[in-house]
A = this chain, B = another copy of it.
């Protein structure tokens, strides 16, 4: 859709909402591609978006919601009349319900839960009781479950009778439980194709099935599914009872979401998500939160420059190179931060392995520091005609580059072992430390040089 066509689609949608014509709205939206649909809806004013979701049938609203960015949906649901929101959420699958409700504050989600259909609420509350990025928070409760004493005939009968209800399920597997609810087997549905109707499920099922604990965190789950080809795996509670099934796609989606959050947090977006369709003050506030922390830290490192003001006054050319030293060290350090965060996510480094990270980074830091320091030193010498300036600036950058990669490599490990968020904190802390060190190295060595050769001062 070219921008012009896009504008007219937004106009059309707006007038359909104004006309309050539910069926025509649905027709119009269904003709667009997913991408254009999401794009066009999000170009409407907030109030119109709410009206749109109330105008169309709840089933279609639930379907549409699935396509929209999650960060938008929780906000939209919160702003809608509670009973409308509850009707739409009623139409969703349990894991999706939990996803959206966990994006709201407790008060808002309770209000919606109170209006939901009673048979759904218990399940959703149950899912909400698990932290978001664990197997319990990511699992669904729509799966086939049979008793271990059932026969193939029982299963086939149930499938024929409840086929409609199961039509949303992924039915490659059924999960087999004992009388007390403990998981005791997994049945490949296609094995039913080859078995006689009197066969006991117990004989057909795979015994001692692989399962995961409801408390297993996302990164372990991601590695679990990397290891095994399963499309889904049963989730058990502390007593071995089957409580849900976690699908491979739910884990992969959560991993992709986590990777996106990391990159946004590293870029200083608090909360790990911003879209330009979000409310203005949310956007401004989240960004300002990070910037405020950063300006505070910047002032701390600037105080190092202030201490050496006298030196700077005598040797003004240094002021040209201070921002370069600051920026280059920050860049080098950020590379090391990114690699550490990547390795932590993959489980390739453990949060206690300071020595390994230090040695690996130091090696790169020495080589790259020498290369960059030598280059900047030569440039400073030629440009400003002072070999001593080149020596000071080159020495400061080379040394500080080494400091930067070591600090940058270690910070995420330290943050992780202190249970802090490595993605949001590593960057600002890194640049504060490297700025202070860099300014100190450059201005401190310049001071020593000036004390030794006062004639260098202007």
Instruction: Please list the residues of chain A having a beta carbon within 8 angstroms of any beta carbon in chain B.
Output: 1-3, 6, 34-35, 38-39, 42, 66-67, 69, 156, 159-160, 168, 170-172, 189-190, 192-194, 220, 223-224, 226-227, 229, 231, 248-249, 252-253, 255-256, 259-260, 262-264, 266-269, 273-277, 280, 283-284, 287-288, 290-292, 294-295, 298-299, 301-302, 305-306, 309, 312-313, 316-317, 319-324, 326-328, 330-332, 334-335, 337-339, 341-343, 345-350, 352-353, 356-357, 360, 363-364, 367-368, 371-372, 375-376, 379, 383, 431, 435, 439, 458
When distances are taken between beta carbons in the complex, the residues of chain B under 8 Å from A66 are 226-227
Do residues A347 and B248 form an inter-chain contact, with CB atoms below 8 A?
Answer: no
Cross-interface CB contact of A342 among B275, B363, B383, cutoff 8 Å:
B275
A-B contact pairs, 5 of them (CB 8 A): A267-B338, A268-B331, A275-B346, A298-B323, A299-B324
Contact of B352 with A3 in the complex, beta carbons under 8 Å: yes
Decide: A309 and B316 in contact? CB cutoff 8 A: yes
Q: Please give the distance in Å from A314's CB to the nearest CB on chain B.
A: 10
Copy count, this protein chain = 2
CA distance A362 to B291 in the complex (A): 16
B276 contacts A305, CB within 8 Å?
no
Is the Cβ of B268 less than 8 Å from the Cβ of A334?
yes
Q: Which of B260, B267, B305, B375 contacts A323 (CB 8 A)?
A: B305
Asked if B319 contacts A35 (CB within 8 A), the reply is no
Chain B contacts for A326, CB-based, 8 A = 323, 326-327
A193 contacts B323, C-beta separation under 8 Å:
no
Q: Which residues of B contact A263 (CB under 8 A)?
A: 259, 262-263, 266, 338, 341
CA distance A101 to B338 in the complex (A): 26
Contact of A323 with B301 at beta-carbon distance under 8 Å, contacts A227-B67, A249-B252, A364-B287 already known: yes
Instruction: List the 7 closest A-B pairs by CB distance, nearest first.
Output: A263-B263, A267-B338, A252-B252, A259-B259, A34-B227, A256-B256, A319-B319
In the bound complex, residues from chain B placing their C-beta under 8 Å from that of A292 are 372, 375
User: Who on chain B is nearest to A227 by CB?
Assistant: B34
- Our pick among B1, B262, B294, B360 for the contact of A276 (Cβ within 8 Å) is B360
Contact A322 B319 (CB under 8 A): yes
Are A223's CB and B34's CB within 8 A? yes
Shortest Cβ gap from A26 to chain B (Å)? 15
Q: A268-B334, A309-B316 are in contact. Are A193 and B156 (CB under 8 A)?
A: yes
The reply to whether B363 and A280 contact each other, CB–CB distance below 8 Å, is yes
Q: Could you tell me if A276 and B379 are in contact, using CB atoms closer than 8 angstroms?
A: no
Provide the bound-state CA to CA distance between A378 and B193, in Å: 78
Report Cα–Cα, A288/B365, bound state, in Å. 10
Tell me, in angstroms, the Cα distance from A343 to B372 when the chains sit together: 35
Among A263, A298, A350, which residue has the most Cβ atoms of chain B within 10 A? A263
Q: How far is the CA of A160 from the CA of B1 in the complex (A)?
A: 48
Chain B residues within 8 Å of A266, by CB: 263, 266-267
